[in-house]
A and B are shown apart, each in its own frame.
Chain A
Amino acid sequence: MNSTNNTVMKSAAETQQQVRNSLARRYRAERRFRFYGFAAVSAGIAFVVFLFGTIFAQGLSVFQQSYVKLEIFYDPQAIDPAGNRDPDDLVVADYQALVRAALREEFPQVEGRPNLRELYGLMSSAASMELQRAVTSNPDLIGQRQTLWLLADDTVDMVLKGNVSRTAPEDERRLSDQQIGWLSALEQRGDLDLRFNRSFFSNGDSRDPEQAGVRGALIGSLLTLLITLLLSFPIGVGAAVYLEEFAPRNRLTDIIEVNINNLAAVPSIVFGLLGLAVFIGFFGLPRSAPLVGGFVLTLLTLPTIIIASRAALKAVPPSIREAALGMGASRLQMVGHHVLPLALPGMLTGAIIGMARALGESAPLLMIGMVAFIVEVPQGIVDPATALPVQVFLWSDLPERGFVERTSGAIIVLLLFLLVMNATAVWLRNKFEKRW
């Protein structure tokens, strides 16, 4: 008896010893595991910070642009030698000559054709366009003098922003030593400065970085989104209402449901193929138009909106429905008067999230030709247009240094829109969310 007791005691002690020995190992494993989790989360956050950090570091400078202060003399001899103020003549007059004359006034010591050409290269061709606009809208300016801040060339801009070093060897930058010297002279006189970049928000696309703006792409995106919203919200809500409130349980509605779930996971580029083959190939709608883009994005966002709207409808308690039916309302009245108003905030939230997804989408738009180089700002839904994310794609391909900054700038504008939309969705949800 005693001996068995001893063995039990002994084996218990042994087990305890074993556990004690293994505990340290197990706690180490525990700490290791916990550390892996922590490292993963930190890595995720580091990616977020790194991603946004690089984009903002590259792009924030786009909101400023180099302008040169020049005293322009609206020389009647250059603009309107005939002196009859004919609007057609004013449009085609040589405004570049005015800019050049002003530059020569600024640096009277520069002589010789090659040197002058370098001097003229400091200014963007947009400068003369601006003078043209000013004169055609106000012909009285002719013969007067005016001090203006005019757009400098993107090579100047890159130097001024420090993206290209002034002290780098001459063959590694696009400006010559002489030009750098003029820049420094202008800067010392206070005639060269970074100012708020108007043209980025007022211009369409351009081959010159300093003139390229997001306005065309932004309007294109808004038109596309407008079509998308006008189509996908009513159709999505209608489909959700039918499936939640009216649909009988049968094969057809089962098929529709499975279908919607699968559509939600179809790659977006496939929707682009559909748009190309059906809307453009079969129905003959115009390429590159926001109308077709809106159609494609409608089909793309529809599953998102239907799923969100169904969730919102499900959240309305059945007692509301029963009360309405009990008062003699028909099913449609019950839905229209009671269930829909209660579910609407949830549906709107879903719609905004769907729109945010549509705004960031570019692959299907590539398929239907919204990738063209379009300078004009689109005026209507059948004009050729591009969209903001597609503009990012187009600019990211261009070799000029100035376009890296433009691309990041366009991304910042895009992200701001997404932020506003998502914040609205969250705000809506918090404000109108009801707990029953």
Chain B
Amino acid sequence: MTPSLLIVALALLSFVAFQIGKARALAVAGGARGIRELHSLPGHYGLLAALWAGLPALLLVILWVSVQDRVLIAIVTSHLPASVMSLGQDGFTLFLNDVRNVIAGNIPASQVSAEAAVAASEYVRLQGYSRMALTALAFAVAVLGLFITRSRITPELRARNSVERVFEGLLFLCSLVAVLTTLGIVLSVVFEATRFFNIVPVSEFLFGTRWSPQMAIRADQVGSSGAFGAIPLFAGTLLISFIAMIVAVPIGLFSAIYLAEYAPSQVRKVVKPLLEVLAGVPTVVYGFFAVTTVGPILRVWGESIGLDVAGESALAAGLVMGIMIIPFVSSLADDMITAVPQSLRDGAYALGATRSETIKQVVLRAALPGIVGGVLLAISRAIGETMIVVMAAGLSANLTANPLEAVTTVTVQIVTLLVGDQEFDSPKTLAAFALGLMLFIVTLVLNVIALYVVRKYREQYE
């Protein structure tokens, strides 16, 4: 049986086990009238039987399938003819690729070398044995689990407690997924980044001012020095994020103030969701907007006042990114402003302050930590934003502070380095992971600070 069919069969078997367990529980209790003698509901006994029948066998299948391929390849390669073993590292990898393609049916066996065809048929033969063995073993484990549980069923058996412990365990595993994700991110990024830093020193990466990640294929190739100095990328990222914040912070903050303090509630009810629409628009749409609309408009304006604006200027990307972040800033600031107790405002009014004076001198000062936290979160969003800059910012790593020129960012470089064919051992690919590591660290630090500031502030009024 194929593993997926086997899993379906096991599920069916578990269902049968549920019925058997339930019937057995009723039988030992002496029919429906004796049900009060049971410790748990009959269904719990059924579930217990189903779990014992299904879970160990399922674990076995998963474990088996996850190692099967490696073991089979090892067996197949262990008795390959000497001619294959002498191919060397690269040749051997190619040979294995051929074998795998034949196994998967991508290419007919007649198109590869005789050795590969033999190895592939050997693999398929072993795979057949392996599947038969697995099927037999899994069914044996399942049936064994079922019968042992069935024989254990007595009115005193605490079936509910056992079943619930299993389910609680499953729930705990669910919550562990988040931790595993973080761990996965850190491990994968750090692992690949370390390999990169073995080739390119950390100091060169962090402080170098030239970025041209093409490694030379030939020594005499033009423009193929392979420089991995990330300063231009950091500068470009900061420039675009800075422009974005110049747009987003004033507009976001002032709209939050207006909506929270001035606007009548009907206006607020309509306008607030309307602004939040901006947050729900996919970032590719902003990217497209930046390329086809904002970029050309800026170019025309620039020409009319005698400025030379690059086709993919940092300004266009930053402006559009700012528009994207407006609702982010405004809804966070709005939360913070509405959280300021009314008594503070009333106190200020009683002293004769006008509304704007109250807002400036009382409300905003009380809400400041929260707003700062929100702005930090917004900056981390801007730094990590990918699609807008991939589409609207350039690829050339210019070290410049001029917003009218094209710059490139960390995320753009990650995308350009990794899109397309790649090998995991070229420094070009690994550089993307090093950049990813930087991105992860910076955004993480910003988030931690922001969450700390926001939380500390919240404690004051609640």
* Chain A interface residues toward B at CB < 8 A: 26-27, 29-30, 32-34, 36-41, 43-45, 47-48, 51, 54-55, 58, 234-239, 241-243, 246-247, 253, 255-256, 259-263, 265-271, 273-274, 276-278, 281-282, 299, 302-303, 306, 330-332, 356, 359-363, 366-367, 369, 371, 389-390, 392-393, 396-397, 404, 407-408, 411, 414-415, 418, 422
Top 10 closest A-B pairs, CB basis? A267-B384, A37-B258, A360-B282, A238-B174, A40-B254, A277-B188, A33-B356, A363-B386, A242-B171, A239-B175
Question: A361 contacts which chain B residues (CB < 8 A)?
Answer: 282
User: Among residues 269 to 320 in chain B, which have CB atoms less than 8 Å away from a CB atom of chain A?
Assistant: 271, 274-275, 277-278, 280-289, 291-293
Give the docked Cα–Cα distance between A43 and B418 (Å).
37
Evaluate contact between B354 and A256: CB separation under 8 angstroms: no
Evaluate contact between A242 and B188: CB separation under 8 angstroms: no
Question: A266 contacts which chain B residues (CB < 8 A)?
Answer: 185, 384, 440, 443-444
* Chain B interface residues toward A at CB < 8 A: 160, 164, 167-168, 170-179, 181-182, 184-185, 188-189, 191-192, 250-255, 257-259, 261-263, 271, 274-275, 277-278, 280-289, 291-293, 323, 326-327, 330, 354-357, 359-360, 377, 380-381, 383-387, 390-391, 411, 414-415, 418-419, 424, 432-433, 436, 439-440, 443-444, 447-448, 451
18 further A-B pairs in the complex, CB-CB below 8 A; given A274-B184, A418-B281: A32-B356, A37-B257, A40-B254, A243-B175, A259-B179, A262-B448, A269-B411, A269-B415, A270-B185, A270-B440, A271-B185, A274-B188, A306-B178, A330-B160, A362-B284, A363-B415, A366-B390, A392-B284
CB contacts between A and B, total, < 8 Å: 262
How far is the CB of B90 from the nearest CB of chain A, in Å? 19
Interface centre among B167, B171, B360, B443 (most CB of A within 10 A): B171
Given contacts A39-B254, A266-B443, are A332 and B289 in contact (CB under 8 A)? Answer: no
Task: Select one of A58, A235, A270, A367 contacting B177, CB under 8 A.
Answer: A235
Evaluate contact between A270 and B384: CB separation under 8 angstroms: yes
Task: Select one of A55, A265, A274, A367 contacting B380, CB under 8 A.
Answer: A265
Evaluate contact between B179 and A256: CB separation under 8 angstroms: yes
Evaluate contact between A278 and B188: CB separation under 8 angstroms: yes
Given contacts A51-B323, A270-B384, A362-B387, are A44 and B275 in contact (CB under 8 A)? Answer: yes
Evaluate contact between B171 and A393: CB separation under 8 angstroms: no
Evaluate contact between B255 and A269: CB separation under 8 angstroms: no
Interface centre among A242, A263, A269 (most CB of B within 10 A): A269
Evaluate contact between B164 and A331: CB separation under 8 angstroms: yes
Question: A38 contacts which chain B residues (CB < 8 A)?
Answer: 258, 262
How far is the CB of B19 from the nearest CB of chain A, in Å? 21
Task: Select one of B179, B185, B385, B418 contacting A274, CB under 8 A.
Answer: B185
Question: A54 contacts which chain B residues (CB < 8 A)?
Answer: 289, 292-293
How far is the CB of B107 from the nearest CB of chain A, in Å? 16
Question: B175 contacts which chain A residues (CB < 8 A)?
Answer: 238-239, 242-243, 247, 253, 256, 306
Question: B391 contacts which chain A residues (CB < 8 A)?
Answer: 393, 396-397
Give the docked Cα–Cα distance between A228 and B188 (Å).
22
Question: A246 contacts which chain B residues (CB < 8 A)?
Answer: 168, 171-172
Evaluate contact between A269 and B436: CB separation under 8 angstroms: yes
Give the docked Cα–Cα distance between A47 and B134 (Å).
61
Evaluate contact between A360 and B283: CB separation under 8 angstroms: yes
Question: B259 contacts which chain A residues (CB < 8 A)?
Answer: 41
Question: B327 contacts which chain A residues (CB < 8 A)?
Answer: 44
Question: A411 contacts which chain B residues (CB < 8 A)?
Answer: 284-285, 288
Evaluate contact between A267 and B386: CB separation under 8 angstroms: yes
Task: Select one of A262, A299, A356, A389 contacting B284, CB under 8 A.
Answer: A389
Evaluate contact between A242 and B172: CB separation under 8 angstroms: yes
Evaluate contact between B178 and A393: CB separation under 8 angstroms: no
Question: B289 contacts which chain A residues (CB < 8 A)?
Answer: 51, 54-55
Evaluate contact between B433 and A273: CB separation under 8 angstroms: yes
Q: 9 interchain pairs (CB within 8 A)?
A: A41-B271, A48-B277, A242-B171, A263-B178, A363-B415, A389-B284, A393-B284, A393-B387, A407-B292
Q: Which residue of A lies closest to B289 (CB)?
A: A51
How far is the CB of B324 from the nearest CB of chain A, in Å? 9
Task: Select one of B250, B280, B281 contacting A40, CB under 8 A.
Answer: B250
Given contacts A51-B289, A281-B424, are A41 and B280 in contact (CB under 8 A)? Answer: no
Question: A366 contacts which chain B residues (CB < 8 A)?
Answer: 386, 390, 415, 418-419
Evaluate contact between A362 and B185: CB separation under 8 angstroms: no
Give the docked Cα–Cα distance between A415 and B284 (Å).
11
Given contacts A37-B257, A43-B251, A44-B326, are A277 and B181 in contact (CB under 8 A)? Answer: no
Q: Which residue of B lies closest to A51 (CB)?
A: B289
Evaluate contact between B432 and A273: CB separation under 8 angstroms: yes
Interface centre among A44, A54, A331 (most CB of B within 10 A): A44
Give the docked Cα–Cα distance between A271 and B411 (Å).
12
How far is the CB of B255 from the nearest CB of chain A, in Å? 4
How far is the CB of A122 from the nearest CB of chain B, in Å? 27
Question: B451 contacts which chain A residues (CB < 8 A)?
Answer: 261-262
Give the docked Cα–Cα distance between A378 and B160 (Å).
45
Give the docked Cα–Cα distance between A242 and B179 (Å).
14
Q: Which residue of A lies closest to B356 (CB)?
A: A33
Give the docked Cα–Cα distance between A30 and B357 (Å).
8
Task: Select one of A259, A330, A396, A422 contacting B291, CB under 8 A.
Answer: A396
Task: Select one of B250, B357, B411, B432 contacting A267, CB under 8 A.
Answer: B411
Task: Select one of B168, B174, B274 contacting A239, CB under 8 A.
Answer: B174
